Amino acid sequence: MDSWESSQIKEIENKLDSDIKTGLTEEEAKKRLIENGKNELPTAKVTPWWVTFLHAFLEPLQLILMFAAVISVVAPLISSPGEKLGFHEFIDFVVIMLIVIVDAVLETIQTVKARKSVDALKSLSKPKAVVLREHNQKEIDASDLVVGDIVILEAGKYVPAELRIVQSADFMIDEAILTGESVPVEKTHKAIKETTILAEKTNIAFMSTFTTAGRAVGIVIGTGLNTEIGKISEAIDKNEESETPLEKKISKFGYVISCVAGLIGIFVFLLLSLVGGFEAWASYLMVAITLAIGVIPESLAAVISITLSFSTKRMANNNVIVKKLASVETLGSVNVICTDKTGTLTQNKMTVKKVIDNNRIMDSDEYLELDKSIQKELLLKALVLPNDSITEGNERIGDPTELALVDFAELMGIDELVYRKKFERIDEIPFDSERKLMSTLNTVDKKTIAFTKGAIDQLLSICDHIMIENKVIKLTESHKHEIMRASINLSDDALRVLAFAYKEVKNNKLEEKGLTFIGAVAMIDPVRKEAVQAIEEAHAAGVEVCMITGDHAITALAIARDLGLAYDEKQVISSDKLDTMSDAELEEVIDNIRVFARVNPEHKVKIVATLQKKGYIVSMTGDGVNDAPSLSKADIGVAMGITGTDVAKQASDVILTDDNFATIMTGVNEGRNVYQKIKRAITLLMGFNLANVLSILIISLIFKISPLEATNILYINLIVESCLAIAIGMGPLDDTLMKLKPQVGKNGLLKGIILPIIKIGVLSALCSVASFFIGMMATDIKTWNNVFNSGEYIGKISLDSTNWLDQIHAIMNSSLSAIERNKLLDEYIVFGRTAMFITIVMSPLFFAHLIKISNWKASKKIKLQVSKPLIYASLIALVLSVGVITIPGLNESVLGLVGYSKETAKWTSDNIWIMFVAFAISIVPFLLILLIDAIVFYSYHLSVGNWQKNQMLIAEMINQDVKEQNKKHKK
């Protein structure tokens, strides 16, 4: 790689076969354009929306649901061969497919905004450039620039390609989008020492940066992908779209559920066939399929999408825009946040914090309270007169350092525009990097006074007097020593020091010598107070925060101390050290590094990649083009909405509309709650499904027929479960989750919820089976005896019993065909099915309110949190369920429940009690779960053994020591 910054201009001309006085010939330019291609960035490929839509159908859970839909149509054909299918048999198929399609639409809406980072990068390059060719200046398309072209740059223009400056005059460039430095940098044509740090390449103009002042001539040394912007473009393009932790867990969960459903179906089919004989294999297959459908949480995909959608809306109201649904949960999984400094952790506004007055350091607030004096009045004039910045309301125009001086003056009641009009500027000597000074000549009260500001060492060298206690005295070496010592102390704290002097001029000739030193101010971009609080919150939540900045290590560490991020030089690493470290060496130390200073874009990607390699879930924040590769690489990229470039926003997963680090923690809290809500929903769904499977399995093994039909299962899963599960996702936030460490690694969705699922499943199943047997007691034995002893059943069933169990055994042992026998049994158990249906539908309306996977171990206090959405959902599900149980036609024809028309099984005043008993039994799981949870809570908090007490005491002592150590560090 050519070291352009260290090469002399003549060497560069020879290397590139060009001449800065004449430029390239048109013929040579065309030749190079053909050889090297246009000065453009490639356009990113955008995935069509229909591909995204179709891909949504390939998710494991979606495939399972579609399989269940097909089975719901095939099953009746198998159980009743030769019979025509009616609309009833297609209800299940239609409902399941609607769920699948709705979920795919939701997923497509959220992900269709394909990333166009490279296109956004390309849009930064302005289309025109002024070049010198064959002695003539001409304007051409920037895409036609070639290496060796001579480009003329002026203020207010974008740099069209990578340039080595060969001529310059007070030339300044804003490189914030590339280096992260908010202050424009001065560019020179002089050769410098070779460096890899972009911010220190002071004779290179980078493509797509913006010129703010002066004029320059540069020679093109790189175009298109061979520029720093081009490298970033390639880095973004190479970063593959990776699955979020939630997507991985859902995918794995889908595979597990599909395997479990298949195994249960096969097991039940074989078991029933072995016990009851293979003659009735079609009926047994129907039972097996019903059980398999019972295992599958049909509504889970939709519940997850809707839960995430509600969270994204809530986050949008809190200044967090989420571009991809699953990214919400990823925020909750984050255990390392890599953040830039300027504007995120700091206010992005230089502010005067200290003043050197009378050779001593004092706080700016203290200086503001000082009485007016000659010395203070002179300093006020020196702040605003040799200063070109302007503030008008919310509009701030000028260099950040000069704006800080104006702001400080305004705090003392000075309007810079009024002062400049009152004390007219006669002459000036502009600032330049060699002198590090700026001077103006102004008329003040009929006198002509020169005011000078600049670097304190440079200013002291041209002063021979000093003002102390409003008196001008001779400036001695002792005075200089005191001032420089104060300045060094301030610089060590990363404050930027500017000094001020004045001189009364008799002949209107402005000269920078013989000045009187007035004082100095020290400024810094102060940390956001809310950022300090947010970092404390992050540490409490087990989330580490790393600061990545373009600042020098000393400045970065000083800011980090104020933020509570780092306290020691060992926690800081600079880019020059990063360049010499291998990946293995960086892995060894990265756990202890909290500040990365003077970094380039490739360093940020390396840092993120190393953290990910060590198993961290990494969030990266940024706003510039230089942040785009690392935003894309991170598990969750967070861009700034106010100061962020389009490139950063396109490359990110989340956008903060207020550019505030504290807002990230709002997102982390929401993400953790989303994950917990999803787990609570899964606990409800899987616990409920387990109850269905166990109850159906128990009764099927006893009576060789499923007590519930597929439509019953689908109603339960798609209506009751969905209402409650979606309401769980809409519930209030649990702030105690921010006291826990994030769950990372290979923890699946079922971790920590298997016991609650089993508890819900077993208790609900036992109550459902009990309800079935009690429901069968309402069977009209006399009427059924008449049926069995007449018509088509004469000679096939021999029975005259007063017990419903005997009648079932008679049916099972009859000479009817397997199909006829199962049809008769299906009709006979209708009271048991209805009672079981009522219990299994109503029970979750109560126990759903007890599913709390929260930080219940953290406190002995029980925080009762009412979820209004869950209460409303329970009422809706109750009304719907009462409707389907009581509405004529719907109960009997669609769901196979007791109705009003059949002679053998209809509601009368003698059997209506079954409804109320079944409803009462549905409350039992709620009471039992409440009792079990109370016993567990009591045994954990109120019945603690001595060993546990000692462990808790030790843990409390350790936490107290850690807090005290942190306080000492901060001091």
More confident of the two residues 494 and 180: 494
Element (H, E) at 727: helix 722-729
The CB density around residue 664, as the number of other CB atoms within 10 Å, is: 26
Euclidean distance between CA atoms 231 and 473, whole angstroms = 58
Q: Whose structure tokens read 């699955």?
A: 243
CATH number for the region 250-300+675-736+748-922 comes to 1.20.1110.10
Q: Please determine, for residue 177, whether its predicted confidence score (pLDDT) is greater than 80.
A: no
Higher pLDDT, 822 or 447: 447
Which residue in the list 92, 103, 149, 340 is annotated as catalytic? Answer: 340
Q: What is the pLDDT of residue 426?
A: 93
Q: What is the pLDDT of residue 788?
A: 80
Please spell the DSSP secondary structure of 477-520, one letter per residue: HHHHHHHHHHHHHHHHTTPEEEEEEEEE-SSS---SSSEEEEEE
* pLDDT category of residue 663 using cuts at 50, 70 and 90: confident
* DSSP-derived 3-state class of residue 865: coil
Whether residue 671 contacts residue 737, with contact meaning beta carbons closer than 8 Å, is answered with: no
Q: Count Cβ atoms within 10 A of the Cβ of residue 746 and give its class: 0-12 exposed, 13-18 middle, 19 or more buried.
A: exposed
Q: What is the DSSP string of 209-245?
A: -EEEEEEEEEEEEE-GGGSHHHHHHHHHHHS--PPPH
Q: Mean pLDDT across the stretch 442-449?
A: 92
The Cα 89–Cα 287 span in angstroms is: 15
Residue predicted with more confidence, 301 or 389: 389
Written as six digits, the tokens of 822 are 């199962």
Is the CB of residue 592 less than 8 Å from the CB of residue 585? no
d(CA 318, CA 295): 38
Whole-Å CA distances, 562 to 532, 536, 567, 723, 762: 8, 12, 9, 48, 55
CA distance 875 to 724: 10
- Tell me the average pLDDT across 846-851: 86
User: Can you tell me the mean pLDDT for 179-201?
Assistant: 80
Cα 218–Cα 8–Cα 152 angle in degrees, nearest 5 = 10
pLDDT at residue 472 is higher than 70: yes
Q: Comparing C-alpha atoms, which of 601, 576, 607 is closest to residue 336?
A: 607
- Token pair, residue 786, equals 């008449």
Confidence of residue 47 (pLDDT cuts 50, 70, 90): low
Element holding 650 (H helix, E strand): helix 646-651
Residue 78: band (very low, low, confident or very high) from pLDDT cuts 50, 70, 90: low
Residue 392's DSSP bridge partners are: 395
Kindly report the three-state secondary structure assignment for every residue of 428-456. Answer: EECCCCCCCEEEEEEEECCEEEEEEEECH
With 90 as the cut, is the pLDDT of residue 518 above it?
yes
DSSP sequence for 12-74: HHHHHT--TTT-B-HHHHHHHHHHH--S--PPPP---HHHHHHHHTTSHHHHHHHHHHHHHHH
Range of 248-252, 321-325, 334-338 with top mean pLDDT: 334-338
CATH number for domain 4-25+127-238, candidates 2.70.150.10, 3.40.190.10, 1.10.287.110, 3.40.109.10: 2.70.150.10
Overall average pLDDT of the 357-379 stretch: 93
Distance CA 640, CA 635 (A): 17
Confidence of residue 854 (pLDDT cuts 50, 70, 90): low
Mean pLDDT throughout 939-959?
A: 61
Of 9 and 77, the structure prediction assigns the larger pLDDT to 9
- As given in the structure block, the two tokens for residue 373 are 């004096």
Is the model's pLDDT at 194 over the cut of 60? yes
Is 340 one of the catalytic residues? Answer: yes
CB-side neighbour CA atoms (13 Å) of 925:
36
- CATH 3.10.105.10, domain 351-524, yes or no: no
Which pLDDT band holds residue 106 (cuts at 50, 70, 90)?
A: low
Q: Dump pLDDT digits (tens) for 263-309.
A: 877 887 787 777 666 666 666 666 676 677 667 776 677 777 778 77
Residue 79: pLDDT band (50, 70, 90) is low
Q: Are 483 and 356 in contact (CB under 8 A)?
A: yes
Strands 636-640 and 654-656: parallel
Quickly state the pLDDT bin for 353 (edges 50, 70, 90). Answer: very high
Average pLDDT of the segment spanning 534-538? 89
- pLDDT interval class at 438 (50, 70, 90): very high
More confident position, 330 or 948:
330
Per-residue confidence band for 471, with pLDDT thresholds at 50, 70 and 90:
very high
Q: What is the pLDDT of residues 53-70, one digit of tens each?
A: 887 787 666 776 677 677
Instruction: Give the Cα separation of 617 and 741 in Å (integer).
Output: 12
Read off the pLDDT of residues 719-776 as tens digits, 9 standing for 90 and up.
787 788 888 888 888 877 887 777 655 566 777 788 889 999 999 999 999 999 999 9
Lowest mean pLDDT among 130-144, 815-829, 922-936: 815-829
Task: Convert the pLDDT of each residue in 603-652 to its tens digit.
Answer: 888 899 999 999 898 999 887 777 778 888 888 888 887 776 666 777 78
For the cut 70, the answer to whether the pLDDT of residue 172 exceeds it is yes
Residue 782's pLDDT band, with cuts at 50, 70 and 90, is confident
With residues binned 3-state (H G I as helix, E B as strand, rest as coil), the percentages for the chain, rounded to 5, are 55, 15, 30
Query: Has residue 30 got a pLDDT over 60?
Result: yes
Tell me the C-alpha to C-alpha distance, in Å, between residue 81 and each of 73, 84, 91, 705, 825: 12, 9, 19, 18, 18
Model confidence at 115, in pLDDT bands (50, 70, 90)? Answer: very low
Torsion of CA 719, 722, 723, 728, to 10 degrees: 160
Q: What is the mean pLDDT of residues 127-134?
A: 85
Cα(755)–Cα(575) distance, integer angstroms: 50
Quick: pLDDT tens for 891-905.
787 777 888 877 778
pLDDT of residue 747: 64
The pLDDT score that the predictor gives to residue 218 is 93
Range ranked top by mean pLDDT from 10-19, 384-393, 893-902, 941-950: 10-19
Are the CB atoms for 364 and 490 separated by under 8 Å?
no
SS (H, E, C) 288-334: HHHHHHHHCCCCHHHHHHHHHHHHHHHHHHCCEEECCCCHHHHHHHC
At 780 the pLDDT is 84
Task: Say how many C-beta atoms besides its own lie within 10 A of residue 566's C-beta.
Answer: 23
Span 320-344+528-659: which CATH code?
3.40.50.1000
The whole-angstrom separation of Cα 432 and Cα 876 is 74
End-to-end CA distance of the chain: 47
963 falls in which pLDDT band (50, 70, 90)?
A: low
The pLDDT score that the predictor gives to residue 243 is 65
Q: Record the pTM.
A: 0.69
